[in-house]
Amino acid sequence: MIALIFFSVLLWDKAEAWGFKDGVLHNSIWLERAAGVYHRESRTGKYQLTYAEAKAVCEYEGGHLATYQQLEAARKIGFHVCAAGWMAKGRVGYPIVKAGPNCGFGKTGIVDYGIRLNRSERWDAYCYNPNGKECGGIFTDSKHVFKSPGYPNEYENEQICYWHIRVKYGQRIHLQFLEFDVEDDTACMADFLEVYDSYDDINGFVGRFCGDELPDDIISTGNVMTLKFLTDASVTAGGFQIRYVTMDMPSKSGDGKNTTSHGKTNFLSGKFGIM
Ligand SMILES: *[C@@H]1O[C@H](CO)[C@@H](O)[C@H](O)[C@H]1NC(C)=O
Ligand SMILES: *[C@@H]1O[C@H](CO)[C@@H](O)[C@H](O)[C@H]1NC(C)=O
Ligand SMILES: [Ca+2]
């Protein structure tokens, strides 16, 4: 147990170190994307990016802040996010497809906060990058197969992708590795896939995987799971294909209500996860 905590601290340090790279903030997660437009928030939470940081996040990935027109085009094909973000030219707003009482003041369209005079305000970001490789995503379907970016081609250097899986309350997620080939090194420090039994990459660490051996199946304790794929600056490999299917919870007690539970990991296995 102490070893696990100690290792978690090491991982945490490592994760922190990824926050800045070449002076550019690089610690956001993918949430949703459509028509080349996607929403980003800082990993430290909602509304943490200044205009300069939001711009840097999009540019780091080869894109730029979306214009109002690009955001509207994405909205028209179903891009709906309930969080205000920077757009090009210092504008702030968010796209609403479905009117709801808690978001968008019951209206549909771009909720427009206008061009901000104070560029130090903190919001999320809306990036536009039509050539961006699909990297990460949010899945809510009862089953899905997802792949490393570019698969079946090799993945690229310096990737950071997050997949969030959220299935119906009361169900579990059963992960199966179909193909797996990630640059191998003894502690998986170069390239790795990490699996978390929670909706973020802080709680519920299950395991870190690299090499070309298929990891064992993993079953979540709750209805959410996060996978994080990180690659360094050199040496790539074939990548992976992973399938998940949902399973009904065992009927006994309230087991599984705690999505970030610790210590109920007897059927979880990872290269460094359970000690
Ligand atoms: C600009 O916004 C930041 C963050 O909200 C705030 O701390 C700062 O005081 C604002 N500056 C001005 C001139 O209003
Ligand atoms: C969830 O976790 C809390 C604190 O760890 C505990 O008190 C509670 O009983 C747990 N609930 C379930 C349903 O396991
Ligand atoms: Ca590598």
Number of domains in the chain: 2
Residue 115, domain CATH? 3.10.100.10
pLDDT level of residue 132 (50, 70, 90 thresholds)? low
The residue with greater pLDDT, 84 or 267, is 84
Q: Is the pLDDT of residue 7 over 60?
A: no
Look up residue 171 and give its two tokens: 């169900």
Q: Do 168 and 116 fall within a single domain? A: no
Q: Do 160 and 209 fall within a single domain? A: yes
User: By residue range, what is the domain housing residue 201?
Assistant: 133-248
Look up residue 45 and give its two tokens: 């939470």
- What mean pLDDT is predicted for residues 152-176? 87
Q: CB neighbours (10 Å) of residue 272?
A: 19
Q: Do 47 and 74 fall within a single domain? A: yes
Ligand 2 site residues, Cβ closer than 6 angstroms: 254, 257-258
Who contacts 168 (Cβ-Cβ below 8 Å, separation ≥6)?
Answer: 142, 223, 246
* Residue 14 within any structural domain of the chain: no
> In the predicted model, what is the mean pLDDT of the chain?
78
Q: Do 58 and 156 fall within a single domain? A: no
Q: What tens digit of pLDDT does each residue of 182-233 get? A: 999 988 989 999 999 987 677 789 999 999 999 999 999 998 898 988 888 8
Q: Which residues pair with 170 in a beta bridge?
A: none
Ligand 1 site residues, Cβ closer than 6 angstroms: 118, 120-121
The domain boundary residue, chosen from 103, 128, 153: 128
The residue with greater pLDDT, 138 or 111, is 111
Q: What ligand 2 atom has the least distance to the C-alpha of 257?
A: 13
What pLDDT is stored for residue 131 in this prediction?
67
Task: Characterize the bridge pairing of strands 85-86 and 124-128.
Answer: parallel
* Residue 4 within any structural domain of the chain: no
For residue 252, the ligand closest to its alpha carbon is: 2
Q: Do 152 and 236 fall within a single domain? A: yes
* Residue 144 within any structural domain of the chain: yes
The residue with greater pLDDT, 61 or 52, is 52
In the chain, DSSP finds a helix count (H) and a strand count (E) of 3, 18
What pLDDT is stored for residue 150 in this prediction?
87
